């Protein structure tokens, strides 16, 4: 048996439905706006019909399981597109230090960021991305550290990591604005 909102015109799920339709209506102008009041009345019925028309469904105004699934799918897609991308923090811990001989993904991230900055800062050179903290990586870190307002130690501690990511993100945002 399909769940039909018309069988239970009041309640929390009706409010959720109305919120979803309201969000969908902001993205798809053909979907009529609805004020979330928790009551499956004429306004909600018309909004459901406009949704069904927009998405090629039979315009019954009834929210059966197919309509509900489609509303949820469209809503989830809108929310996902609007959400910020997931972020990662590959730096292992606050006291950790990357130095000559260190190997791993966090070193590769440092090398990638330094390579990206090499296009913006003439004194930085492109590195080979190896994931190994070698002499070339140490040299580029030493060159970068004064750019980030730090003493040139050649080691990546938390302060150097934070400065590097801050400058890298700033450059990436500038590039995105110009694109």
What is the band of 87 on the pLDDT scale with cuts at 50, 70, 90?
confident
> 137 and 113 in one domain?
yes
% of residues, the chain, pLDDT over 70: 91
The residue written with tokens 């930085």 in the block is 124
> 55 and 31 in one domain?
yes
pLDDT at 59: 96
Report field, pTM of the whole predicted structure over 0.75? no
Last residue of a domain, one of 66, 82, 98: 82
> 122 and 78 in one domain?
no
- Asked if residue 1 lies in contact with residue 11, where contact means CB atoms within 8 angstroms, the answer is no
Asked if the structure places residue 177 within a domain, the reply is no
Q: Is 17 exposed, middle or buried (0-12, 13-18, 19+ CB in 10 A)?
A: buried
% of residues, the chain, pLDDT over 90: 69
> How far is 130 from 101, CA to CA, in rounded Å?
12
Last residue of a domain, one of 47, 66, 82: 82
> 47 and 104 in one domain?
no
Question: Over the chain, what is the mean pLDDT?
Answer: 88
Asked if the structure places residue 179 within a domain, the reply is no
> 73 and 33 in one domain?
yes
* Residue of 26, 12, 24 lying closest to 48 (CA atoms): 24
Last residue of a domain, one of 25, 51, 82: 82
pLDDT at 1: 27
> 10 and 73 in one domain?
yes
What is the band of 6 on the pLDDT scale with cuts at 50, 70, 90?
low
Higher per-residue confidence, 27 vs 178: 27
Residue 35 sits in which domain range?
A: 5-82
Residue 111 belongs to domain with CATH number: 1.10.101.10
pLDDT at 73: 95
What is the band of 2 on the pLDDT scale with cuts at 50, 70, 90?
very low
Asked if the structure places residue 51 within a domain, the reply is yes
Does the structure show a pLDDT above 90 at 156? yes
- Look at the chain and report how many structural domains it folds into: 2
> 128 and 161 in one domain?
yes
Segment 42-46 long-range contacts (CB within 8 Å, at least 24 positions apart): 44/14, 44/17, 44/18
């Amino acid at each position: 048996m399909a769940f039909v909102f018309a069988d239970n015109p009041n309640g929390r799920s009706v409010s959720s439905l109305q919120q979803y339709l309201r969000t969908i209506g902001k993205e798809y102008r053909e979907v009529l706006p609805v004020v979330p009041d928790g009551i499956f009345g004429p306004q909600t019925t018309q909004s459901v019909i406009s949704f069904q028309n927009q998405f090629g469904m039979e315009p019954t105004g009834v929210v059966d399981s197919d309509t509900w699934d489609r509303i949820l799918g469209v809503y989830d897609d809108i929310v996902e597109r609007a959400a910020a991308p997931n972020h990662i923090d590959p730096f292992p811990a606050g006291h950790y230090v990357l130095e000559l001989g260190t190997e791993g993904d966090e070193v590769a991230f440092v090398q990638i960021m330094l390579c990206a900055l090499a296009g913006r800062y003439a004194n930085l050179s492109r590195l080979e991305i190896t994931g190994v903290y070698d002499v070339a990586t140490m040299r580029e870190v030493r060159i970068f550290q004064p750019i980030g307002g730090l003493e040139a130690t050649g080691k990546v501690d938390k302060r150097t990591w934070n400065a590097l990511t801050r400058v890298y993100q700033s450059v990436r945002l500038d590039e995105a604005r110009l694109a």
